[in-house]
Amino acid sequence: MAAAGFSRIALGVEYKGSRYRGWQRQASGVLTVQETLENALSKVADAPVSLLCAGRTDAGVHACGQVVHFDTQAVRSMKAWVMGANINLPHDVSVSWAREMPAHFHARFKAIARRYRYVIYNDQIRPAHLGEEITWNHRPLNVAHMAEAAAHLVGTHDFSAFRAGQCQAKSPVKQVHHLRVSQHGKMIVLDIRANAFLHHMVRNIAGVLMTIGAGEREPQWAREVLESRIRRTGGVTAHPFGLYLVQVEYRDEFELPQRYIGPHFLTGFDLPE
């Protein structure tokens, strides 16, 4: 709950994670998204600002639908929070909206679903553009086999086999609402929505699906990995550059702004909302 005399402000945030060591501020002083955004907002508030986010992204991972909140005694218009933050932010972090929230809102604990997209550029030649915003795979990938494999992972399961060793989640059981695989020219997009995610869960799923798409394993292998509950069964963790946090969902009572589902370079594609 926000303390007496404080307002609770929620922000929509997007960022290119390539040069950051993830979302979370670190004691070592390395560059993080949290510290960068807190520094910008502190200038607007003329006082220190401390942020809490909906989902802590890893080093190199991007976001176009991150939600954060902070408590402040500063009185500013919502436009001032957005424009003031953006004036003080570097080119690869942007605030898209601001909204004053009830005191019981919490960016992380009130979220009811999160959604990621993992973007693969599938071509023999490495692309000169978007190099840090997509994952390049030179092997021809069978999208139909990837989609068949993805179906095994939809539903409520123990995702221990897709969980990083340093994951701090209390339970490996998560509910995947959908896991779609679609192709758009040379782009293959994995779109996954769940109630919550384990550390490296999406990247480990992407690694399994690309292995299957390359013909190294049959689609049934995705279920075998899942049922093993052993991380090493699933092979390598996919690269972070293709991963985007695209949406965080909350109950209607909070009336948060709804934007298109990113990333930006996919907005012209026929992707389901």
Catalytic residues: 58
- The two tokens of residue 218 are 């049959």
Measured CA angle at 50 (ends 81, 54), to 5 deg: 85
Helix, strand, or coil (residue 64): strand
Region class of 185: left (phi > 0), else alpha (psi between -120 and 50), else beta? left
Which residues make beta-bridge pairs with 70?
Answer: 9
- The two tokens of residue 153 are 């992972």
Instruction: Quote the CA–CA distance of 149 and 88 in Å, as a whole number.
Output: 45
What are the two backbone dihedrals, phi and then psi, of residue 232, each rounded to the nearest 5 degrees?
A: -65, -15
Instruction: Quote the CA–CA distance of 227 and 60 in Å, as a whole number.
Output: 29
Element (H, E) at 190: strand 187-194
CA-nearest of 198, 143, 208 to 176 is 198
